[in-house]
Structure 1
Amino acid sequence: MTSRKRAFTIHLVISLAVLVPVLGWIFHAWYPWPYPVLQGAWVMLGVMVLAHLAVGPLLTALVFKPGKRGLVFDLCVIALLQAGALAWGVYAVGQQRPAWLVFAVDRLNVLSNGEIMGPVPQVPASLRNAGPVLVYAEMPTGDAAQQLLQETMFEGLPDIEHRPEFWRPWVAGRGVISRATRPVTELVAARPASAGPVGKTVTDAGLTLDMATFLPVMGRERDAAAILNPADGTLLGLVVVDPWVDEDAVN
């Protein structure tokens, strides 16, 4: 093995040793499954990985020559550029991460902090890096409802799922949320291919299919079904499947 190939291999191993834990943390805290699919995160993550590996090992292979004057300086510059590329990638991924799972009307919406209007609500640190936070967007009544209609229809303001002033704790909307759910058996009947993942999600929670319900989930790129325990409103998991079973009946 030539010295240049050896330098490339060593730098590649070091780069992977840094990258793998970073990706593990991203998938655990920011993009637990199936949010990479729902939010279309694979391209962004791929760019981050390629930038990290291209700026590091590939540049090392290009500049490395034993005894070259200024080699140590070149390698230090490459290391700084690589660290900067990785930091930028992590920041970009973090800005787009699914931070909120907001119930509004009859569905759940996956939103990043950049997709909400106004200041970002503060949440405990224990929840901040444990996947999207569940909240309930309360539909206003009376004059407030008329004001909302005017703002969304004529002033171009976003709807309630994007506006934290309408958000309430998940438990506060249990009754409304429960009335919007459908029996999960309807989902399985309309989408037979979902029987496996839906059944596993339900049985892992100690329930049977006839005991669970579901809600549609709207992601940036794909939709899914949220499987719920109707007894307490607990979210059991998400299954990547077309959840719009009513549209099939219409069509």
Structure 2
Amino acid sequence: MNPSVSSFDWPARFRAAAIHACLSLLVAAGAAALVFGVWYPYPYREISGGRELFTLVVTVDVVLGPLLTFAVFNRRKPRPELRRDLAVIVMLQLAGLAYGLHAVAMARPVHLAWELDRMRVIHAVDVPEELLARAPEGLKTLPWTGPTPVAVRLFRDAAEAGDVTLAALGGADMGARPDLWQSYAEAAGRIRASAQPVATLRALKPAAGASLDVAVQRAGVPESELMWLPLVSRKSFWTVLLRKDNLLPVAFLPLDPY
């Protein structure tokens, strides 16, 4: 047998790569629990694109590490050299995962903001850091445990309204500006006035009756106790159902109400 072929030791390399792949999958599972259980709870993993971004990061990381192990693993190498090679691969893999998780974290949803006649998902990357100091007390830091509801306050005067409108036309959404935030509870009267009964949604979208039935069931309260608002996301329009009593969001459906 050709010694150069036998020294390649295919079974050992496959075994090492398989072990590395299993360990990588365990780490990926832990990362997924953090991302989808804390940063992107349902429905934000779909609304905010968290699933696609995380899948891309983890797929590259989980595939690349075992492939590199397969390429460098050789029992004929001195043990210190083999350990060094494997350690470098693991460090590169962990660095890649950390960078990917950082990107996912910076894109995480932090607030569900009421913008006068709609709700908008606000992501950490959307919020100008220089304006955070001007946010009301309790809203100066961005949450890490899923989005919380906030509201856009009343404009102080016509000049501010004009400035905000021009900025919004330029891509600076009102709901992403900390200087315009106020607590969700403080805006309850205006939110209630802007929301509509579910019956109007059924009239607007009769073909979506089955999906709406599922959302109402998920909300856990009678339909008569619910209201709705359009929900603006990065990639599409959804609909959010709110409880009448506290106006908190209780169900979402991937439906453009208009």
TM-score normalised by length of structure 2: 0.84
Which stretch has the larger CA shift, 222-231 or 49-58?
A: 49-58
Structure 1: 4+ residue segments shifted above 6 A: none
| AA in 2 matched with 1:78 | I
Mean alpha-carbon deviation: is it higher for 176-185 or for 200-209?
200-209
Q: Does 1:135 align with 2:150?
A: yes
Contact 2:229 2:241 (C-alpha < 8 Å) held by counterparts = yes
Which residue is 2:240 aligned to?
226
* Residue equivalent to 2:69: 60
Residue of structure 2 equivalent to 1:249: none
Instruction: Kindly indicate whether residue 21 of structure 2 is the aligned counterpart of residue 12 of structure 1.
Output: yes
For the residues of structure 2 that align with 1:56 and 1:218, how far apart are their CA atoms? 38
Unaligned runs of 5+ in 2: 1-9
CA contact (8 A) 2:106 2:124 kept: yes
Q: Which amino acid aligns with 2:108?
A: R
Change (3 A) 1:199 1:129: farther
In structure 2, relative to structure 1, the CA distance for the partners of 1:156 and 1:129 (3 Å cut) is closer
| In 1: Cα distance, 2:97 partner to 2:24 partner | 10
CA deviation map 1:91-140 (0-9, x unaligned) = 0000011111111110011111221233445758xx92332111010131
**How many angstroms apart in 2 are the aligned matches of 1:11 and 1:42?**
24
CA deviations on 1:66-90 (whole Å, 9 max, x unpaired) are: 1223211100000000110110010
- Residue 128 of structure 1: SS of its match in structure 2? coil
- Structure 1 distance, partners of 2:70, 2:46, is 34
Query: Any gaps of 5 or more consecutive residues in structure 1?
Result: 245-251
- Structure 2: how far apart are the matches of 1:42 and 1:204? 22
Q: Which residue of 2 aligns with 1:247?
A: none
Deviation at 1:220, TM superposition (A): 0.6
Aligned-residue offset at 1:52 = 1.4
Match of 1:172 in 2: 186
**Per-residue displacement from partner, 1:11-64 (whole Å, max 9, x unpaired)?**
111011111021012101111122122222333212211221133111111111
Once the two structures are aligned, what percentage of the paired residues are identical? 29
Residues 129, 193 of structure 1: alpha-carbon distance in 2 compared, 3 angstrom cutoff? farther
CA shift for structure 1 position 177: 0.5
* Match 1:216 to one of 230, 236, 249: 230
1:114 maps to a residue whose letter is V
Contact 2:113 2:151 in 1 (8 A): yes
- Partner SS for 1:102: strand
1:149 counterpart = 2:162: yes
Which residue of 89, 105, 121 maps to 1:78? 89
Moved more, 190-199 or 235-244: 190-199
Match status 1:109 vs 2:120: yes
Measured on the aligned residues, the alpha-carbon RMSD in Å equals: 2.4
Q: 1:201 deviation in Å?
A: 3.6
Look at both structures and tell me which one has the larger radius of gyration over its CA atoms: 2
Q: Distance in 1 between matches of 2:106 and 2:207?
A: 34
Q: Is the 8 A contact 2:218 2:251 kept in 1?
A: no
Counterpart residue number, 1:3: 12
Q: How does the TM-score come out when normalised to structure 1?
A: 0.86
1:231, CA displacement in angstroms?
1.7
- CA change 1:13–1:241 in 2 (3 A) is same
**8 Å contact kept, 1:181–1:215:** yes
CA distance in 1: counterparts of 2:104 and 2:174, whole angstroms: 25
- When structure 1 is superposed on structure 2, of 213-222 and 114-123 the one drifting more is 114-123
Say which is worse superposed, 81-90 or 28-37, in terms of deviation.
28-37
The aligned length equals 240
